[in-house]
Amino acid sequence: MRRMPTILWLRTAALAGVLAVSVPLAAADSGSWTPVADWPALPDGWTTGEVAGVGVDSHNHVFVFHRGKEKSVLCIEGATGKIVSSFGDGLFINAHGLEVDGDDNVWITDTRRHQVMKFSHEGELLLSIGEKGVAGVDASHFDQPTDVVVSASGEFYVSDGYGNNRVVKFSADGTFLREWGEKGAGPGQFDLPHGLALDDSGRVYVADRANQRVQVFDGDGSFLDEWGTDRLGEGSRPWGLEYSSDGRLYVIDGGNMNPGTPDYARISILDLDGKLVDSWSSYGTEPGRLSWGHDVAVGADGAVYTAEVRNSRRAQKFVAK
């Protein structure tokens, strides 16, 4: 296993606003899955900013991307919940998506930097796409990119979601290859593409959040299918996606955020024909519930990890009962 640098623990006073506060409530009924108590194992008094992204590497390290100014990217042991290392102090403006590729590099999107950034496992910046602080809609600019996913060959896809409603494909060295999508509700159109996944055959899955569906494309952007609330459940709004080694797609639903309307929240598992295999959780701040679930990741051991951006501002770990 790769040796990880020892984290430099700072004084408690310097860590205000950095890690998640545990929620002293009873665990919610989570159906066929249960939350792991006291995960992550955080020092007393630590808090986080909003937790936006989560990913798992080949050594079962869980990377958590949050909106605090210090220790913005945390590397956590999946089994124990202990923090191993961190990076990104003062680097990010608005943490959003996180992806760990097959070589254990960590990719992030920052919506206010308008950039996609690739880091080594230890936090060295290797590649940056987009111009810092400058929004645009061309081969070298984004407008609030939301997520990134990387193929086995190193090509990567970016959901350029809040401003441009497109998906952009790049070569491994960051050369622009193609793009697709525009504002709308038809096949291949988007209304806030918020999360991405890529399966072993090269199909691209897009969490088309405000259109309440997952769209499926081939690697060049040709439309293949869409899975809406008939597959995902009443009120579903997919926020984040993860393709797992068991050949299934995990979808996290953060809710609709509209005052006075039901706030659905769930994690769903679908097979690659779009058939619902399992679904659990609901809206709330108790352990096992979700408060604006923003991203989801799956470890090689089958554990499911979530990121939440409101109220509880936490990462959770779920295991099958």
255 Rama class: left (phi>0) / alpha (psi -120 to 50) / beta:
left
DSSP 213: E
For 192, how many CA atoms within 13 A lie in the half-sphere containing its CB?
12
CA distance 47 to 68: 9
Average pLDDT over all residues of the chain: 90
The pLDDT tens digits of the residues spanning 96-132 come to 999 999 999 999 999 999 999 999 999 999 999 999 9
Q: Taking residues 203-215, what's their average pLDDT?
A: 97
Nearest 5°: the CA angle 250, 256, 23 is 75
Residue 55, strand partner residues: 63
Domain ranges of the chain: 21-320
Strand order in the sheet with 304-308: 33-35, 315-320, 304-308, 293-298
The structure's pTM equals 0.91
CATH superfamily, domain 21-320, is TolB, C-terminal domain (2.120.10.30)
258 Rama class: left (phi>0) / alpha (psi -120 to 50) / beta:
beta
The pLDDT tens digits of the residues spanning 27-49 come to 555 579 999 999 999 878 777 89
Task: Tell me: pLDDT of 261 over 70.
Answer: no
17 and 49 Cβ atoms separated by less than 8 Å = yes
